Amino acid sequence: MNKKFKILIADDEKANLDVLIHILRDSYIVYPAKSGEAALKKAAEVSPDLILLDIIMPDMNGFEILKRLKSDDLTKHIPVIFITALSNSEDEKKGLRLGAADYIVKPFNSEIVKVRIKTQLELIKHIRTIEELGMFDEVTGMPNRKNFDNQLTVEWGRAIREKMPISLIMIDVNGLTENLLIETADVINARLKRITDFRARYSDTIFAVILPNTKKDGAVVVIEDIIKSIRELETRKEAKISLNIGISSSEPTNDDPISYFVLQADRNLYKAKTAGTTVFY
């Protein structure tokens, strides 16, 4: 018998909590929280598989709650879906920077809620299975190329079925000592805050990042954070890190080959190198 996933819902409005509990209680173990502090306490206590988080809360807003969740080793791995009446692009970018996995806009549509949650939980299940298989690079501790290929196939198929965007980032770093390579890998890991964002050591000098449900603008936001952190690493280590990045983004259909998607990221990486720029997309 499969163990039920645990979902924490943080919303100060009783009516919203009641609606979501009604939608989810038959399929999941649901924990309600009516304030930010209560949500943080309950998240550390029960370690839910997923958190639904309202942005507008009386004691602290959802962005601040998410920051605190991501800064705590006990809760930083838990994916968070914002439930909100806010729907402008700046709010979405802010949520992405902080590590939100998705948005559900109020008023709730029960079928959309179920699908969005199911998508996140399927990703979690798949990632946990991969971790158990141990397909990781021995030097950096990241997933290896075989792991990457498997994950991209899964995410590509999901993007087609659910009509979602997907982005791929190729990051080439050259001339690094093993220690600096490991620290660069750690920087990339630290900047990817959503559990669904998948990173791998693609080859000796190239890291690859898969960003599900992410358009090009969102991928650029992630890249900006990674570049900033790598430049800070350079300063700390008094080192020079050669850095080139290529991005590929798509909203694929059944007619779109996954091989072209990867090739486009690789071509953009090459264009960045030859043009003498850091990023090409």
Distance (Å, whole) CA 181 – CA 159: 31
Residues 141 and 276 in one domain: yes
Given strand 80-84, what is the order of strands in its sheet? 29-33, 6-10, 50-54, 80-84, 102-105
Cα 183 off chain centre by: 20
CB 168 within 8 A of CB 265: yes
Q: How does pLDDT run across 227-281, given as a tens digit for each residue?
A: 999 999 999 988 888 899 999 999 999 999 999 999 999 999 999 988 888 899 8
Assigned domain for 1 exists: no
Residues 141 and 114 in one domain: no
Residues 75 and 164 in one domain: no
Which of 128, 148, 181 lies at the terminal end of a domain, its last residue? Answer: 128
Residues 150 and 255 in one domain: yes
Residues 250 and 215 in one domain: yes
Give the domain CATH number at 58.
3.40.50.2300
Residues 61 and 157 in one domain: no
pLDDT at 87 over 90: no
Residues 150 and 106 in one domain: no
pTM (whole model) above 0.85: no
**Confidence bin at 132 (pLDDT 50/70/90):** low
Which of 81, 111, 128 lies at the terminal end of a domain, its last residue? Answer: 128
**Average predicted confidence (pLDDT) for the chain:** 89
CB 191 within 8 A of CB 197: no
Residues 72 and 12 in one domain: yes
pLDDT at 1 over 60: no
Name, of 9-18, 162-171, 191-200, the range with top average pLDDT: 162-171
From the list 23, 42, 26, 124, the residue with the least C-alpha distance to 83 is 23
What single-letter amino acid sits at 69? L
Mean pLDDT throughout 56-68?
88
Residues 100 and 179 in one domain: no
Name, of 52-56, 99-103, 190-194, the range with top average pLDDT: 52-56
Which helix (H) or strand (E) segment holds residue 119: the answer is helix 110-133
Based on the structure, what is the number of domains in the chain?
Answer: 2
Which of 80, 98, 128 lies at the terminal end of a domain, its last residue? Answer: 128
Mean pLDDT throughout 101-118?
86
Residues 144 and 108 in one domain: no
Which has more confidence, 132 or 136?
A: 136
Residues 234 and 151 in one domain: yes
Structural domain boundaries, residue 160: 137-280
CB 230 within 8 A of CB 239: no
Assigned domain for 92 exists: yes
Identify the pLDDT of residue 165. 96
